[in-house]
Structure 1
Amino acid sequence: MKQTNQIYVLRCLALTIIAGLISSTFSMAQNARIKIDIDRQIGEINNNIYGNFVEHLGRCVYGGIYDPESPYADENGIRLDVLDAVKDLNIPLLRYPGGNFVSNYHWKDGVGPKDERPPRMELAWARLETNQFGTNEFVDYARRIGTEPYFAVNLGTGTIEEAQQWVEYCNVKEGPYSAELRKKHGYAEPHNIKYWSLGNEMDGFWQMGHLNAEDYSKKAREAAKLMRLTDPSIKLIATGASNFRPNNDPHEWNATILSELKDVVDYIALHMYVGNHQDNYYNFVSSPLVLEERTKVVKGMIMREMEKADRGNRDPIYIAWDEYNIWYRWRQEETMTGERALEERYNLEDALVIGGFLNAFIRNADIVKMANMAQLVNVIAPIFTEKDGMFLQTIYYPLQLFANNMFGTSLDVFVDCDTYDTDEFYLGLAEQATQQKNVPYLDVSAAYNDGEIVITVINRHKDKAIATDLFSQEGLFNGEFEVFEVNGPDIKSENDFGKTTVKTVKKASLTLNEASSFTYEFPAHSLTMIKGKITQ
């Protein structure tokens, strides 16, 4: 009897061990999970987060969008091959004319007969500014590509009166001097520029006319007063922090600006450039999470100030990430200035980082209502030209996918997947060090629009495809789902003239018949967009 009991106990112990092994094996093999709930809404996605930026820097304007000597140029000097590529980006908002350039730019130099426009020393990027392309040429270009112009005024060497006169030139139909000057220049109707930035990076010591936070707030408030008296309908963007050097406190700048201008401005502008200086892939692809952290900090500051603000019936202040990109290879002294400044070449890992920025904007759609990737052509840009041709850089493709598909309401998505920790690393050459914990291999955003769901997933894993179960918590996946993938042979793959190794590929569609879930395997180092219907 005693032996029988021992055998029974041993059998139970063996079964327990086997069950544990089975459970452990199942757990190890369990798929990642993404849960979509159309009732868990973050906020409306503003299309202006897909904006871009044109600055008088290197070959962005001259030799980029405007090149009368190119065989691809029309009678106005506009490069038509570039124009077509720009149109395909579906850009809703285009910032102009800078950037550092604007802090010594006087808009009157760039209007009127071209043979009467004065050439000037361009002090920000060390080149000759011919002023052959200016306010009216830019507005014409923006109208051709179907985008809204966004102007930055000179609050460095410029005056508040100069800023007011530019609004008058652009937005007043007739009567005062500047409006009549526009008419004299051939534009009978006003341009009606809606968005105006009050300077650029005024917290940076590198900026011409650099000011401390208190002095900038005073100048910006008075410029805003004159500009709004000229056209009460305009939207104004304040210069937020761009200086994240170790001995500087960007939060102090942002807190002061929001406190002093909370009743005046409509947005606060934030800037961020990142790079893979240490050639560490996993550190680099986590960098959009730092942008997301900074977004949440400034959101908290805005919420605090809005409790004390007197804004009438105007919206609260929103965040404009009106400069962001990858910029580190062409950041040495010899590549920073002159005719061919900042001509960064991009690879697949760069495209994944841009996709990560866009995902972050979507996930923070309640507060981020504007973003402008810097810049459009040649200068840290998705489009690259020479006289006899052009090609699309890797970062072009995530921008194109998002701007043509991710609309509606941003959803709060549940993601369960493996994670990793980064080393301590630097985002930029002069930035403070950062370290990221529990970085998910899958970076996810989702947009819901009148029954249509768009899910964008970046698989950060360098070598491993990740099988993932996608669930709908409310409604069913139903019908044909389009699948688009941005990928390439390896993370260092680049595009070039006559060679496109990284691009968007339309994959085989998924057919789902009133399914509450489906499984998809996201390839290593990829961005995937899945688009279809959810029915109730």
Structure 2
Amino acid sequence: MQRNLLKISLLTASILTGNAFAANHEVTISANLQDRGAVINKDIYGQFAEHLGHGIYEGLWVGEDSEIPNTKGFRNDVVGALKDIKVPLIRWPGGCFADEYHWREGIGPKDERPVKVNTHWGGVEETNAVGTHEFFDLAELIGADVYINGNLGSGTVQEMAEWVEYMTSDKNSTLANERRANGREEPWDIKYFGIGNESWGCGGHMDPDYYVNLYRQYATFIKTPKGKRPLLVGSGGDTDNTEWTDVLSANIDRNMDGISYHFYTLPTSDWQKKGHATEFDNAMWFKTMERTYRMETYLKNNIDIMDKNDPDGKLGFYVDEWGTWYDAEEGREPGFLYQQNTLRDAVVTAVNLNLFHEYARRVHMTNIAQMVNVLQAMILTDGAKMVKTPTYHVYSMYTVFQDATSIPFKLDTSRYSMNGEDLPAVTGSLAMGTDGHMYLALVNMDPTEDADIDLNIDGKVNKTLSGSILTAGNITAKNTFDDQHNLEPKPFKASADKLVLPAKSVVVLTLN
């Protein structure tokens, strides 16, 4: 087997943004392309659509009578953009909203559905115009599977069981016939079903031992026709709390396929003053990267516990809420969680996706929060206008990793340092795509210093490499409704000489 020590040079000099007076980071990546690791489940690229702010209404749903072009009430432009990044999975209806959601209020004629108050998010009126049938319409339009989050906090065992029957039954039961009368003849498929959400907090302020008994009770009555059973998800912990993972994995030995986990990137790590979405300096950039890279420790700690309690690896670890969370924008309803999205968010996205790939043996599904107009959104809308965010573009670049087979590799990198703290300057992913090509993703977290990359690869690699890069001269670069294409991936080719990874950049290369 031939060994190629490659130093590959980026030919497009106009996109290099490093500091000419600083020494570049030194990075070596070593791998054998014949080696194989875990499959990177496509559901790692899942999305989250909660009844929150303008995430559902106006962002996705405008109604069939809207002047905005739509199909079955959902915006054609947004649906088309989400199809383009191959969204594999959508989580709905929450989030905190899930544990106050009663499914019967969202079926039947829209003018007869009750109007409720969304007590979690802004105290606004919830018309229930988007309910079970509408959500499945959205998923089918996008071509995505569904992750339904059931109401454990304020619901009942009977209510949850009947909702599952309504959605999945192929019998001549009253509930199945009610679904048919409401316009859906065939039962739907549910890929994942969550029993509660954040049960330690907005889902009921429980302790894990109490939740375990409730979970066993509720899961017992989730019954579906043969071949229709969803993967059942236990409500797990958040941030550095591993107790929930430990108690659930040690005490629930049936009817559970995975444990959820939530972690948000707050630049300040202070929930009272999280930091500004678009106005920040290099110091705040570092704080953001330091916070987001804690995901590596949290993944390892939880997975170590699962390996102890579940040595056969039956359980998945589902990071079903993650992403950046900043202070509410001035002049907007704070409970709507609308925030702009910059190059910083793009780098955060790629860093986390690389970590999910690294731990793909257990991390089978994640859902970034959220899909449209909420937190770290893929898409922002304003009336008939729509803009794709930098986060969207990272998801577009990384589609090649959906269901790819990871290739073990060793990454030696110098450190990105500030004020006595340091992080790895560069992170990466290496995998064989479903098309047979080898793909390498690289992220430079340092906003000022480039990185020289040596690829020490066993296996055939093209002399000329092609790929794409996302970067900008300004750390606060973003896309707006008036300048929708300011920050987008740029195509480039690279030769088998020397690769210089620009500061604050995300790169995806095809190796062969």
TM-score under structure 2 length normalisation? 0.87
Of residues 113, 124, 128, the one that matches 2:120 is 124
Q: Is it true that 1:217 corresponds to 2:221 in the alignment?
A: no
**Aligned residue in 1 for 2:450:** 465
2:505 counterpart letter in structure 1: S
**Aligned residue in 2 for 1:84:** 80
1:255 counterpart letter in structure 2: D
The worse-fitting range, judged by mean Cα deviation, of 450-459 and 111-120 is 450-459
Residue 158 of structure 1 deviates from its aligned partner by 0.6
Per the alignment, do residues 30 and 63 of structure 1 end up closer, same or farther by CA in structure 2, a change over 3 Å counting? closer
The 5-angstrom pairing of residues 344-493 of structure 1 reads 344-380=339-375, 381-421=377-417, 437=422, 439-449=423-433, 451-473=436-458, 475-478=459-462, 480-493=464-477
The 5-angstrom pairing of residues 182-261 of structure 1 reads 182-204=179-201, 207-228=202-223, 233-242=229-238, 250-261=241-252
Per the alignment, do residues 84 and 304 of structure 1 end up closer, same or farther by CA in structure 2, a change over 3 Å counting? same
Q: Is it true that 1:176 corresponds to 2:188 in the alignment?
A: no
Per the alignment, do residues 333 and 325 of structure 1 end up closer, same or farther by CA in structure 2, a change over 3 Å counting? farther
- Residue deviations 1:295-336, cap 9 Å, x none? 1111111111124x8xxxxx6101111111101222899743
- Residue deviations 1:249-298, cap 9 Å, x none? x2222211222224331111111111223652223223332112111111
Distance in 2 (CA, whole Å) between partners of 1:519 and 1:471 is: 12
Per the alignment, do residues 138 and 451 of structure 1 end up closer, same or farther by CA in structure 2, a change over 3 Å counting? closer
Q: Is it true that 1:304 corresponds to 2:308 in the alignment?
A: yes
Distance in 2 (CA, whole Å) between partners of 1:171 and 1:202 is: 26
**Aligned residue in 2 for 1:101:** 97
Q: Is it true that 1:148 corresponds to 2:152 in the alignment?
A: no
**Aligned residue in 2 for 1:524:** 503
2:266 counterpart letter in structure 1: G
**Aligned residue in 2 for 1:273:** 264
Distance in 1 (CA, whole Å) between partners of 2:171 and 2:329 is: 45
The worse-fitting range, judged by mean Cα deviation, of 49-58 and 390-399 is 390-399
**Aligned residue in 2 for 1:327:** 325
2:176 counterpart letter in structure 1: A
Distance in 2 (CA, whole Å) between partners of 1:102 and 1:336 is: 20
Distance in 2 (CA, whole Å) between partners of 1:233 and 1:88 is: 29
- Residue deviations 1:91-127, cap 9 Å, x none? 1111000000011100110011111111112111121
2:134 counterpart letter in structure 1: E
Q: Is the 8 A contact 1:70 1:388 kept in 2?
A: no
**Aligned residue in 2 for 1:162:** 159
Q: Is the 8 A contact 2:165 2:224 kept in 1?
A: no
**Aligned residue in 2 for 1:429:** none
Higher relative contact order (CA 8 A, sep 6+): 2
Q: Is the 8 A contact 1:111 1:135 kept in 2?
A: yes
**Aligned residue in 2 for 1:38:** 33
Per the alignment, do residues 30 and 53 of structure 1 end up closer, same or farther by CA in structure 2, a change over 3 Å counting? closer
What percent of counterpart residues are identical? 29
Distance in 1 (CA, whole Å) between partners of 2:160 and 2:476 is: 44
Distance in 2 (CA, whole Å) between partners of 1:238 and 1:331 is: 33
**Aligned residue in 2 for 1:6:** none
The worse-fitting range, judged by mean Cα deviation, of 400-409 and 125-134 is 400-409
**Does the residue aligned with 1:137 lie in a helix, a strand or coil?**
helix
Q: Is the 8 A contact 2:153 2:199 kept in 1?
A: yes
Q: Is the 8 A contact 1:90 1:404 kept in 2?
A: no
Unpaired segments ≥5 residues, structure 2:
1-22, 269-274
Per the alignment, do residues 130 and 448 of structure 1 end up closer, same or farther by CA in structure 2, a change over 3 Å counting? same
- Residue deviations 1:479-518, cap 9 Å, x none? 65321001112111111012132211111x2366xxxxx5
Residue 30 of structure 1 deviates from its aligned partner by 9.2
Per the alignment, do residues 225 and 423 of structure 1 end up closer, same or farther by CA in structure 2, a change over 3 Å counting? farther
Q: Is the 8 A contact 2:47 2:367 kept in 1?
A: yes
Distance in 2 (CA, whole Å) between partners of 1:31 and 1:219 is: 52
2:251 counterpart letter in structure 1: E
**Does the residue aligned with 1:43 lie in a helix, a strand or coil?**
coil
Distance in 2 (CA, whole Å) between partners of 1:197 and 1:503 is: 35
2:74 counterpart letter in structure 1: I
1:326 counterpart letter in structure 2: T
Residue 385 of structure 1 deviates from its aligned partner by 0.4
Distance in 1 (CA, whole Å) between partners of 2:480 and 2:181 is: 44
> Which protein shows a greater Rg?
1
Q: Is the 8 A contact 1:70 1:79 kept in 2?
A: no
Distance in 2 (CA, whole Å) between partners of 1:347 and 1:211 is: 37
Distance in 2 (CA, whole Å) between partners of 1:451 and 1:389 is: 38
Distance in 1 (CA, whole Å) between partners of 2:141 and 2:229 is: 24
**Aligned residue in 2 for 1:20:** none
Q: Is the 8 A contact 1:94 1:150 kept in 2?
A: yes
**Does the residue aligned with 2:210 lie in a helix, a strand or coil?**
helix
Distance in 1 (CA, whole Å) between partners of 2:287 and 2:468 is: 26
Per the alignment, do residues 233 and 76 of structure 1 end up closer, same or farther by CA in structure 2, a change over 3 Å counting? closer
Q: Is the 8 A contact 1:287 1:353 kept in 2?
A: no
1:144 counterpart letter in structure 2: L
Residue 467 of structure 1 deviates from its aligned partner by 2.0
1:352 counterpart letter in structure 2: V
Q: Is the 8 A contact 2:69 2:75 kept in 1?
A: yes
Residue 174 of structure 1 deviates from its aligned partner by 2.2
**Does the residue aligned with 1:485 lie in a helix, a strand or coil?**
strand
Q: Is the 8 A contact 2:168 2:224 kept in 1?
A: no
**Aligned residue in 2 for 1:24:** none
**Aligned residue in 2 for 1:505:** 490
Unpaired segments ≥5 residues, structure 1:
1-27, 245-249, 310-314, 425-435, 513-517
**Does the residue aligned with 1:265 lie in a helix, a strand or coil?**
coil
Aligned residues: 471
Distance in 2 (CA, whole Å) between partners of 1:328 and 1:367 is: 29
Distance in 2 (CA, whole Å) between partners of 1:334 and 1:252 is: 36
2:453 counterpart letter in structure 1: T
Q: Is the 8 A contact 1:228 1:234 kept in 2?
A: no
**Aligned residue in 2 for 1:60:** 55
Q: Is the 8 A contact 1:488 1:503 kept in 2?
A: no
Q: Is the 8 A contact 1:283 1:423 kept in 2?
A: no
The worse-fitting range, judged by mean Cα deviation, of 104-113 and 411-420 is 411-420
Residue 242 of structure 1 deviates from its aligned partner by 2.4
Distance in 2 (CA, whole Å) between partners of 1:228 and 1:123 is: 31
Per the alignment, do residues 29 and 156 of structure 1 end up closer, same or farther by CA in structure 2, a change over 3 Å counting? closer
Distance in 1 (CA, whole Å) between partners of 2:24 and 2:60 is: 51
- Residue deviations 1:111-147, cap 9 Å, x none? 1111111111211112111001111101011011110
Distance in 2 (CA, whole Å) between partners of 1:176 and 1:480 is: 62
